[in-house]
Amino acid sequence: MIVLPYKFDTTNDLLTSRAGLLSIAQLMETLNQTERIDQHFPLPKSNRGYKPSTFIKTLILMQHEGSFHLDDIRHLQEDEALRTVLNLDKLPSATTLGDWLRRMGKVPSIEDAWVAVNQAVLQSALHRCKEVTLDIDATEIIADKTSAQWTYNKNKGFMPMVGHIAQTGQIVAVDFREGNVPPAQDNLAFIRQCQQSLPEGCTLNALRIDSAGYQTKIIAYCDEHGIEYAIRAKSSASMRAQFEAASDSDWQPLIDKKGEPINGEDTYRTSFCIGDYERAFTLIVQRKAIQGQTNLELESENNADELSIGGYIYRAIATNRDELSDSSIVHWYNQRAEDSENRIKELKLDFGGDTLPCSDFKANALYFLISALSYNIFALMRALLPEELSHHRATTLRWRLYAIAAKVVKTGRQLFVKLKEKHRTLLEQVLTALKELKPPPI
C-alpha cells in the first residue's frame, strides 16, 4: 500500500470556499436591497428582532449557494470568513427562519411588498424597454405537506401560476395555488396581476400561453387592450370539421428558422370564433405526419390540444398577429418553452422552488416568492457577467464562480480577501460590472 506523503495540521486563518458569493452580495448592495426590503416588509416590533432584509438576504444567499432546506443555514453560520467579508455578525437560526416565514405569510399585504422589491430588479434588467411579452404557465410542485392537495396528475402538492417577462426571462408575478386548482382558473385575473406588477412606465404588449388560456374573456381582453397574443387552441368538433374540409392546396410547408421547409410538417391559416365572442381571430393550424405509428386516434382524443386525423396530428394556435407568416407565428409561440417552461425549471431545480420548507400554505407561498426574487437577481447578474459565464445555469456558476477558495485577513482597519490570481481576476471583473449597474431610485 502506498501512503501519500502528507501531514494534517490546523490553522486559525479565516478560510472560505464560497468567496464567489461576494458577487451576489454585491449585486444586492448595488440594488439597495436592504433599504428596499426594510421599507416595504413589516419591521420587527422590538429592536432585538432581525429586520426583514436579514431574513430575505440570508435565504437568497442560501439559495444561490445551493442550500434549499432551512437547516442548511448552518453552512453560512459556520463560514466565519464569508460572514466577516459580508458583515454578517449574526444570522437567524433555522427555527427563527421558519417562524418568520409563517408569521409574514399571514400578512395580507406581503405580496405587495414582494412586488415593490421585485420591480426594482425588473427595471434594472429592462433598462429602456417599455413594452414586454408575457409568458404564463402553471407548474406542479410535488410536496408531502399537511396543506397540500391532490393535483390533476394525482400527486399531492401545489400548482402555482408563474408569469415571465420574455425579454429578460425574469418572473413578474406568482399566484401560489392549491394543488387541486385547475391551471385554467382565473387566468385573466393573473394576467392583470402581472400587468400591475410591471415596473412603472412598462406595459404589456404581447401574451403567450398554452391551452389553459384559450378562453373567450382572455381573447376579448387582449383585443380590447391592444395586446398581441398566441394561445394554444383547444380542439373541438367545429375545429375538426375545418381541418377535414381543408384541401391540399390550402396547406403550406412549415419553414424552419433557417428558411428551409420541414419535412412532414405543414401549416394552414383560417379564421375562427370562440364561444359567444363574435370577433374572429386567426387560427394557425399545424399538421405533422405520423411516422411509424398506425393508430394514435384514442391517444390524441384524450389530448385537448391536438387531434389525430387521417395519418396526421393537428394542433392550432389562436393569434391576432396577422402580419406574421404562419411559420413565424409557430416559432414565436414555441419560444415560450424557452422563455417560460425552462425558466420555471431553473426556479424549481436551481433555486429551491420545489423544496418547500413548511407545512403552512402561506409560509410556503412566501418562500416561493423569495425563491422567485432570488432567481430574478440571478438572471440580472447573469446578463452582466462576462461572455464565458453569461449563458450558464446556477448549477454551473456555483462551481465556476461561487465556489472560490479564499483566505480572509484583517489588518488594522483593512480587510483583505486573498485568492489565486486567476480567481482574483475573474471575481474583480464580475464585481466591477455589478458595481456599475445603475439601480432605480428607492
Q: Is the pTM for the entire model greater than 0.85?
A: yes
pLDDT of 278 over the 60 cut:
yes
pLDDT of 297 over the 50 cut:
no
By percentage, how much of the chain surpasses pLDDT 70?
97
- Rounded CA-CA distance 192/186 in Å is 10
pLDDT at residue number 148: 86
> Which stretch of 130-144, 238-252, 273-287, 317-331 has the lowest confidence by average pLDDT?
238-252
pLDDT at residue number 166: 95
Q: What number is the average pLDDT over the span 17-30?
A: 96
pLDDT at residue number 299: 41
**Residue 340 gets which letter from DSSP?**
I
| 156-178 confidence digits (pLDDT tens) | 999 999 999 999 999 999 999 99
The position carrying cell 428558422 is 257
The residues that bridge with 229 in the sheet, in sequence order, are 207
CB 316 within 8 A of CB 301: no
CB 251 within 8 A of CB 311: no
By percentage, how much of the chain surpasses pLDDT 90?
77
pLDDT band with cut points at 50, 70 and 90 for residue 239: confident
Q: Residue 393 corresponds to which cell in the numbers above? A: 445555469
pLDDT at residue number 157: 94
pLDDT at residue number 260: 93
- Rounded CA-CA distance 6/435 in Å is 42
For the chain, the average pLDDT equals: 92
Within 10 angstroms of residue 108's Cβ, the number of other Cβ atoms is 6
| 373-416 confidence digits (pLDDT tens) | 999 999 999 999 988 898 899 999 999 999 999 999 988 889 99
- Rounded CA-CA distance 139/183 in Å is 9
CB 41 within 8 A of CB 56: yes
pLDDT at residue number 240: 87
pLDDT at residue number 292: 60
pLDDT of 182 over the 70 cut:
yes
pLDDT band with cut points at 50, 70 and 90 for residue 275: confident
Q: What number is the average pLDDT over the span 282-286?
A: 95
- Rounded CA-CA distance 132/200 in Å is 13
CB 163 within 8 A of CB 136: yes
